[in-house]
Amino acid sequence: MFRLLFFLFLGLLATPLLHSQDIQSLWMKEPVTVNGNPDEWPQTFRYYDGKTQLEFAIGNDTANIYVCLKISDQKAQMKIFRSGIQVWIDPKGKKNEAVGITFPIKRVRNPDEKPASRQDGGNSPFQKTEIEKLKLRILSEQKDLKVKGFLNIPSQTLTADNPYGISAALAWDSLNVLCVEYKMPIALTLQHRFTEKDTIKSIALGLVESAIEGSNQWHREDGGSGGSNWGRDNGNPGNAYRNQMGNSSGMDPRVGSTDWGTDETETRREFPVVTTSEELKVWNKVRLAWRR
């Protein structure tokens, strides 16, 4: 009997702890202007996910749910443009990709783009110029968003200026922190008008980065042709060639050779496109806020 009472007592203690894990949505006193400028949000975001390196916040008023992401790391920024980001809301509080926006949309690099060198960590004037050019190109390209699951709206690609009031935008601040903002009308997301009852039961917020596919391009340490994803092998300059299949056996991946020092004009084997990163998903339960 004592043991039973003890476990019941532990259960009562655990109940509020479970609820405390829910993210509390911020009450937005004024409608958020979705432009990639985080001035309307707290200076420091409370929530961070180490896998995706996303800082995030969620807020609402009686009309809309707003989500804001911040990405400080430059490599993480470039990764999300290669994979795209999906923001999902599950009104039932589970982990179902029920209602969502894809933005930025997975980007395909233009043939005339030159991958920036990674040897100097992005500090050379040349690389900084290339990065700034890439940012301007991304800003000009990312004008559309994909939607799915909204009430009476077919899954489709929309412009940022659409009649449904669904929107997303991105921008960099003076410290090169990338900010991505989203707006989802509550009536289209929860499929009913917002009431105080909607603050009692949790919804779920999902952030998804798709897997990234590599290519069969090649890279040499001396700046030769091909992709820029591979460099020195544990500091050994003799292992000058790498392919995106992840060859680490000491075998030269070019046809007919096991010597890393073989003449670079030798015929190279073509490999198919391969997956180089896995899909990353972050799910959190959220309690929407009521007027304050």
Q: Where are the domains of the chain?
A: 22-107+142-212+277-287, 216-276
Q: Which two tokens stand for residue 95?
A: 């982990």
Range 5-29 average pLDDT? 57
Q: Tell me, what's the pLDDT at 221?
A: 41
pLDDT band for 2, please (50, 70, 90 cuts).
Answer: very low
Q: Which two tokens stand for residue 241?
A: 């060639």
Q: Which two tokens stand for residue 54?
A: 């996303």
Q: Tell me, what's the pLDDT at 129?
A: 79
Report pLDDT digits (tens) over 209-243. 998 876 544 444 444 444 333 333 334 443 333 33
pLDDT band for 28, please (50, 70, 90 cuts).
Answer: very high
Query: Which has the closest alpha carbon to 150: 83, 104, 97, 203?
Result: 97
Report pLDDT digits (tens) over 200-218. 999 999 999 998 876 544 4
Pick the CATH number of 22-107+142-212+277-287 from 1.20.120, 2.60.40, 2.40.360, 3.10.590: 2.60.40
Rounded to whole angstroms, how far apart are CA atoms 105 and 143? 9
Comparison of pLDDT for 248 and 76, the residue scoring more: 76
Mean per-residue pLDDT of the chain? 76
SS3 186: helix
Q: Tell me, what's the pLDDT at 110?
A: 67
Predicted structure pTM score: 0.71
Q: Which two tokens stand for residue 53?
A: 């390196």
